[in-house]
């Protein structure tokens, strides 16, 4: 096993590159690399978004012994300035267990009436194999709350977690990691778009569009939600993608795809913490996920080649 890349402290080995091939199960290194690309290339400067390294999640779950250590870790992660945290959840039984399933826990902070003192954290769990990671997600949320310094939540009393019932469902035994990272990118892009829209409403200066995703090539922000019938990922050089639902131009978000047969997810967005909720439907077809695997592997290979040249 040979190290081939160190990208913002995300270490990738030659054996990791092959894991973006069809039929392979993503490991910690793959997910961490993808998350670092999101942090540094797709959402640069968005310090309110945190994409947690799986190794840090493992530390939170297995190595903190008391509340002071949890709070120290939380300060190190600068949770006070975060509005949304993406946590990869694994069902590993301990620090030396590999586990067999990934899912995504989204922790987002809502501020009531613009008063920071009235902030409230919400936990949503997206599991591509519904029910498989329910308990690990709840335990992860409980540990996260300890990092916030909430002494009322103990290890055996998990925080309330909303398990998104209609999360996109994988149709095989190996795509859980892909669903985890693609959902993180998609949900982060919607948060960034909402922030940009709010900023534009309060400013006379037009908000510049966000560039296409550095990982999948899909334009992510400044889109009309009602027209966000997202096409398959674009290939290198802006080529047309090939990974959508047949006949519908499907992808991560297709407003025309409803129901479990389309592996759609209804995500409730509640910007104020109260009032009406807008429901967005996102779909991930197996073809789209396969295409995203290929594009991510190509992006990783280019990243490795660029580092070699330097």
| pLDDT tens per residue, range 29-46 | 999 999 999 999 999 999
Instruction: Tell me, yes or no, if the pTM score tops 0.75.
Output: yes
Give the number of residues written for the chain: 310
Instruction: Pick the most confident of 116-120, 174-178, 214-218, 231-235.
Output: 174-178
pLDDT digits (tens, 9 = 90+) for 155-201: 445 568 999 998 999 999 999 999 999 999 999 999 988 888 877 77
* Average of per-residue pLDDT across 144-155: 69
pLDDT digits (tens, 9 = 90+) for 7-29: 999 999 999 999 999 999 999 99
CA distance 4 to 178: 21
**Residue 248, pLDDT score:** 29
User: pLDDT at residue 207 above 90?
Assistant: no
**Nearest-CA neighbor of 166 among 209, 128, 136?**
128
**Residue 97, pLDDT score:** 81
| Average pLDDT score over the chain | 77
User: pLDDT at residue 81 above 60?
Assistant: yes
Given a contact cutoff of 8 angstroms between Cβ atoms, the answer to whether 89 and 137 are in contact is yes
Residue % of the chain over a pLDDT of 70: 68
**Residue 247, pLDDT score:** 29
Q: Give the chain's domains with CATH numbers.
A: 3-196+221-309 (3.40.395.10)
**Residue 26, pLDDT score:** 98
pLDDT digits (tens, 9 = 90+) for 224-280: 333 333 434 433 333 333 233 322 222 322 222 222 333 333 444 333 333 333 334
Distance of CA 61 to the CA centre of its chain: 19
**Residue 273, pLDDT score:** 34
pLDDT digits (tens, 9 = 90+) for 285-303: 899 999 999 999 999 999 9
**Residue 266, pLDDT score:** 40
Query: 82-86, 202-206, 214-218: which has the minimum mean pLDDT?
Result: 214-218
């Amino acid at each position: 096993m040979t190290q081939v890349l160190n990208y913002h402290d995300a270490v990738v080995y030659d054996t990791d590159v092959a894991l973006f091939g069809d039929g392979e199960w993503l490991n910690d290194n793959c997910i961490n690399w993808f998350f670092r690309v999101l942090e540094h290339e797709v959402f640069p400067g968005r310090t309110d978004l945190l994409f947690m390294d799986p190794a840090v999640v493992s530390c939170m779950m297995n190595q903190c012994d008391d509340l002071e250590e949890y709070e120290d870790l939380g300060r190190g992660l600068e949770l006070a300035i975060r509005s949304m945290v993406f946590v990869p959840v694994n069902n590993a039984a301990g620090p030396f267990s590999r586990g067999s399933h990934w899912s995504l826990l989204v922790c987002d902070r809502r501020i009531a009436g613009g008063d920071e003192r009235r902030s409230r954290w919400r936990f949503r769990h997206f599991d591509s194999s519904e029910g498989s990671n329910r308990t690990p997600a709840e335990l992860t949320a409980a540990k996260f709350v300890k990092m916030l310094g909430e002494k009322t939540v103990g290890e055996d009393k998990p925080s309330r977690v909303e398990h998104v019932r209609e999360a996109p469902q994988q149709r095989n035994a190996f795509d859980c990691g892909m669903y985890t990272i693609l959902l993180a990118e998609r949900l982060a892009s919607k948060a960034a778009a909402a922030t940009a829209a709010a900023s534009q409403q309060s400013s006379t200066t037009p908000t510049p569009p966000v560039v296409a995703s550095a990982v999948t090539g899909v334009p992510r922000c400044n889109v009309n939600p009602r027209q966000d019938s997202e096409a398959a990922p674009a290939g290198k050089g802006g080529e047309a993608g090939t990974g959508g639902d047949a006949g519908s131009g499907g992808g991560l978000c297709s407003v025309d795809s409803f129901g479990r047969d389309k592996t759609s997810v209804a995500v409730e967005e509640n910007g104020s913490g109260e009032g009406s909720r807008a429901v967005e439907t996102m779909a991930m077809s197996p073809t789209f996920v396969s295409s995203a695997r290929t594009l991510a592997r190509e992006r990783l290979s280019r990243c490795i080649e660029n580092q070699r040249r330097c």
